[in-house]
């Protein structure tokens, strides 16, 4: 019998925590299934000249079997996912993981299964996002005024950054590194791991540890592929995905301190906000948060904040 081909695609560099977790998935799958499968990892579709946003389309078409992707890309189809995008709502990683592994995560996964052609195999930690810029230290919302900031393709993120005084510009990862390097945008936001692995710290001297958004990523599988695989293959995929998810979260939790230790203080100024400074950012975005609290089911917030 010919081996089953399983292709997993991503968009981050080889050293990234997402890529390392994907490699763990491949290793465990190989240990379980051996030559019953032929596994291929497309480390970054950017190297193929494709934007990161193409990854779900490639899984949907069957060009890939799996990919990882930020939940931000799916809020149009699953509006409930917006609860994960709201600023300063997630307190810490432990609370976020408990919610994703509990009733909130189950609800979001059920909705994704109902309205998309994907099966969710894991909920990954996409990190607390911080501000970087090439102009000045940012310590209060007033420091954001007049700066153009690269954002993810999220209307909600755009609202938040406008509330802080930025001019937001949504740019795919395929373009954002070039635009950051070329000075086309003044600022950007990302977890520390992405700030470092994509080299943003080489172009933006100033890093402010706002932790304004907590991001989640989905490990997605083509649902038709999954259903067509033999039961033992599905079991092996589920097991490998669970181990990859555990590793990904472990790496994410350790990465913030590791990146801060790697940064050269001669090259980068890291701003750690005082409680009052952080409170000013929280206050500035409260109108946006209040709008979405009225728009979304209150149970979503209960499930996120109860842990």
Once rounded to an integer, what is the mean pLDDT over residues 22-49?
94
Give pLDDT, residue 1.
Answer: 72
Examine the pLDDT at 214 and tell me if it is beyond 70: yes
Report, as an integer, the average pLDDT of 300-306. 85
* Same domain (yes/no): 21, 168: no
Residue 171 and residue 293 share a domain: yes
pLDDT of 306 reads 62
- Cα dist from 213 to 24, 178, 223, whole Å: 27, 23, 29
Q: Which of 117-131, 174-188, 210-224 has the lowest mean pLDDT?
A: 174-188
235 and 100 in a single domain? The answer is yes
* Domain CATH for 136: 3.40.190.170
pLDDT of residue 66: 98
Q: Which tens digit of pLDDT belongs to each residue from 17-34?
A: 999 999 999 999 999 999
Stretch (H or E) spanning 105? helix 103-115
Residue tagged 């409680």 (tokens):
275
Nearest-angstrom CA–CA distance, 185 and 97: 33
**Considering only CA atoms, which of 95, 117, 137 is closest in space to residue 303?**
95
Is there a single domain that holds both residue 78 and residue 107? yes
Q: Are residues 76 and 177 in the same domain?
A: no
DSSP state of 270: E
Residues 9 and 67 in one domain: yes
pLDDT in tens, 184-201: 999 999 999 999 999 999
Q: Within this chain, do residues 175 and 280 fall inside the same structural domain, yes or no?
A: yes
Whether 272 and 224 share a structural domain? no
Residues 27 and 135 occupy one common structural domain: no
Hey, which residues does 81 pair with through a beta bridge?
none
Average of per-residue pLDDT values in the chain: 95
Same domain for 275 and 195: yes
Mean pLDDT, residues 71-85: 94
Same domain, 199 and 224: no
- Residue 274: pLDDT band by 50, 70, 90 thresholds? very high
Instruction: Return the DSSP state at 135.
Output: S
Stretch 248-267: mean pLDDT: 96
Whether pLDDT at 307 is above 60? no
* DSSP tag of 63: S
Same-domain pairing of 167 and 280? yes
| Integer angstrom CA distances of residue 271 from 120, 133, 159, 171, 255 | 37, 11, 24, 25, 18
Range of the domain at 38: 4-126+215-258
Q: Please, are residues 229 and 4 in contact by the beta-carbon 8 Å criterion?
A: yes
For the chain, what is the domain count?
2
Query: Which backbone phi and psi does 270 adopt, to 5 degrees?
Result: -100, 120
Report the alpha-carbon distance of residue 5 to residue 3 in Å, rounded.
6
- CA 48/CA 42 separation, integer angstroms: 9
Whole-angstrom distance, CA of residue 69 vs CA of residue 101: 18
């Amino acid at each position: 019998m010919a081996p089953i081909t399983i292709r997993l695609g991503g968009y981050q560099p080889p050293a990234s925590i997402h890529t390392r977790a994907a490699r763990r998935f491949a290793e465990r799958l190989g240990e379980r299934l051996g030559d019953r499968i032929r596994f291929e990892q497309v480390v970054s579709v950017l190297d193929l000249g494709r934007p990161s946003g193409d990854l779900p389309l490639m899984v949907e078409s069957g060009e890939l079997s799996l990919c990882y992707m930020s939940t931000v890309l799916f809020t149009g189809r699953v509006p409930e996912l917006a609860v994960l995008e709201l600023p300063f709502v997630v307190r810490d990683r432990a609370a976020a993981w408990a919610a994703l592994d509990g009733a909130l995560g189950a609800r979001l996964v059920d909705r994704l299964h109902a309205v998309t052609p994907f099966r969710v195999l894991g909920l990954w930690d996409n990190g607390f996002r911080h501000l970087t810029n090439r102009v000045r230290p940012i310590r209060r919302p007033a420091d954001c005024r007049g700066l153009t900031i690269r954002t993810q393709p999220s209307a909600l993120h755009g609202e938040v950054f406008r509330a802080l005084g930025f001019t937001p510009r949504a740019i795919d990862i395929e373009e954002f590194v070039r635009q950051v390097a070329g000075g086309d945008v003044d600022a950007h936001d990302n977890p520390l791991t992405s700030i470092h692995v994509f080299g943003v710290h080489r172009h933006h001297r100033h890093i402010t540890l706002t932790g304004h958004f907590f991001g989640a990523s989905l490990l997605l599988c083509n649902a038709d592929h999954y259903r067509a695989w033999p039961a033992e293959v599905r079991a092996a995929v589920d097991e490998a995905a669970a181990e990859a998810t555990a590793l990904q979260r472990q790496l994410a939790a350790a990465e913030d301190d590791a990146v801060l230790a790697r940064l050269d203080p001669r090259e980068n100024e890291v701003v750690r906000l005082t409680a009052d400074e952080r409170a000013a950012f929280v206050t500035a975005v409260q109108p946006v948060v209040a709008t979405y609290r009225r728009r979304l089911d209150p149970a979503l917030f209960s499930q996120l904040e109860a842990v």
